[in-house]
Amino acid sequence: MELLHQSCQLQHQILLEKYGGDKDLSKVRTFFNSNHVEPNSKDGYRLMKEAEKLPTYSTI
């Protein structure tokens, strides 16, 4: 469980750095909210892995 938690933290950090080093945090939140997913859930982790393959987040 602890390894999963650390992995989630690492994924969050990678995403935040990738999308402007906290400057685009609102886009990350909007992305999760538009998908009705909590970032710290299993679905959130799956969504992050899928989004990492995309060049940018899209809320459209």
Tell me the pLDDT tens digit for each residue of 1-60: 565 566 677 777 777 666 655 566 777 778 888 888 887 788 888 887 777 665 555 565
Residue 16 lies in a domain: yes
Residue 58 lies in a domain: no
Query: Tell me, what's the pLDDT at 3?
Result: 58
Domain count, the chain: 1
CA distances to 35, 38, 43, 47, 60 from 8, in Å? 18, 12, 11, 12, 25
pTM above 0.85, yes or no: no
Q: To which residue do tokens 């060049």 refer?
A: 55
In which domain, by residue range, is 30 found? Answer: 2-52
C-alpha 42/C-alpha 20 separation (Å) is: 24
Tell me the pLDDT tens digit for each residue of 47-57: 877 776 655 55
